[in-house]
Amino acid sequence: MNRKKIEELLKILDENKEHWLKAINSSREMVLSNLAMLSQEPSETFEEENRAALVLERFIASGIFEPQTDEVSNVIGIIPGKHEESNILLFSHMDHQQSMSEIDRSISISKDRVTGYGVSEDNIALSILITLPDILQRLDISYNSNIVLLAASRHHGRGDLEGIRKYVRQHKNKTDFCINLVGTPLGTVNYFSLSRVRCDINCTIDAEPHNPWGKNTNISANLVINDIMNRLFSIPLPRQPKTVINLGMITGGNRYSTVSTQAQIKLEVLSENDEIMEKVIDQIHDGCVDISAKYGVEVTSDFFGRHKAGGVSYSHPLVKSAVGIVKNLGYRPLMTYNDSALAVPLSASIPSIGIGMTTGMLSSGSKGYIDISPMPTGILQLIMLLYAIDKGYCYE
């Protein structure tokens, strides 16, 4: 996409900006109301049914024709386009990791901020997604393309992006573009994904070992895990293509006074190159087998959450449009990889992009927050990007 075309797009958007922003501002309470209700509905990964029911109810209330859920609790709604020749998928995930029965899931809304568990990651994005039909109505905008709204299930951890994977598997041939809405930060432009795998390494020691080598030696599972960590550190990782191993979590043992019989490492490997990733996976697996034999204890390595490197390049008109829009709205584009849901449509060769909805602070606990005042700009960015795709500015 040449510079002239971008300028042409931004000029059209500039003409509509004020009017659109006014209409978006008038839907602020609706977005926040949906956010509050979503936040109050627990939706742990694999247990998204209640939140899915709320999303479905919201779609029905917005007048979406025949919204539906599928067997993995994805909720899908379509805003039909005038020509219905192309389909733009808009998605955000519905689930959260932490069990909500043990925490107070109530959020707090002040004049300028919404604070609480899951607000910034990514309930605000889901809230905007489900309010979009009302927002478009207020804007009096209708697109030529179908806008497919997907509230995706099973995003986190062992859910392994099953919701978006299932949708893309079934509809990849009918999806022309994909936009992944994330909570924060505003300015985010994700357009490529890394090769990724996650792995749980478990060491378990029988209380009464039958193996003579292990008998009466008081081997601690923590000690074994320490050895595995040393082995992981010795795996040669190239600078180019960049590859990293991140030891996300380590747990082990029960008490001060007992020898640990169980320990675990949860790690993630990221790489720019799929072949290197395969080699690293083999090395981790072999190392675990080796240490298992050496100590005479059970060490398992369970790999999951695998997706391949992919993406579009910066020169793709979708990326250029998104970057141009972010700059036009006065924000700095934060161009980076996405190691999560966006990888799924990208690896199916669907031109895809991830954008942030507002500013705020990510937190796995209840201290995360989003700022209210930049939120309309985040929504405006989405409306502009949909316009750009719909009017053909993002085709190569």
Applying CB under 8 A, the residues found at the interface with another protein are 29-30, 32-34, 36-37, 40, 61, 101-104, 106-111, 134
CB of 80 to another protein, least distance (A): 21
DSSP 152-219: E---SGGGTTHHHHHHHHHHGGG--EEEEEESS-TTEEEEEE-EEEEEEEEEE--SS--STTTTTS--
Judged by beta carbon, residue 324 or residue 360, the one nearer another protein is: 360
SS3 of residue 13 by DSSP: helix
CB of 165 to another protein, least distance (A): 33
Residue reference for tokens 């809405």: 181
CB of 168 to another protein, least distance (A): 32
Could you give phi then psi for residue 339, rounded to 5 degrees?
Answer: -105, 25
CB of 370 to another protein, least distance (A): 13
Judged by beta carbon, residue 103 or residue 244, the one nearer another protein is: 103
CB of 116 to another protein, least distance (A): 9
Q: How far is CA 210 from the centre of its chain?
A: 45
Judged by beta carbon, residue 107 or residue 189, the one nearer another protein is: 107
Q: How far apart are the first and last CA of the chain?
A: 7
Judged by beta carbon, residue 2 or residue 101, the one nearer another protein is: 101
CB of 60 to another protein, least distance (A): 11
Judged by beta carbon, residue 42 or residue 185, the one nearer another protein is: 42
CA-to-CA distance for 287 and 285, rounded, in angstroms? Answer: 5
Q: b/e map of 219-242 (b: 16 or more CB within 10 Å)?
A: bbbbbbbbbbeebbeeeeeeeeee
CB of 102 to another protein, least distance (A): 4
CA nearest neighbour of 222 among 297, 289, 275: 297
Judged by beta carbon, residue 108 or residue 217, the one nearer another protein is: 108
Q: How far is CA 47 from the centre of its chain?
A: 17
Judged by beta carbon, residue 112 or residue 208, the one nearer another protein is: 112
DSSP 295-322: HTSEEEEEEEEEE--EE--TTSHHHHHH
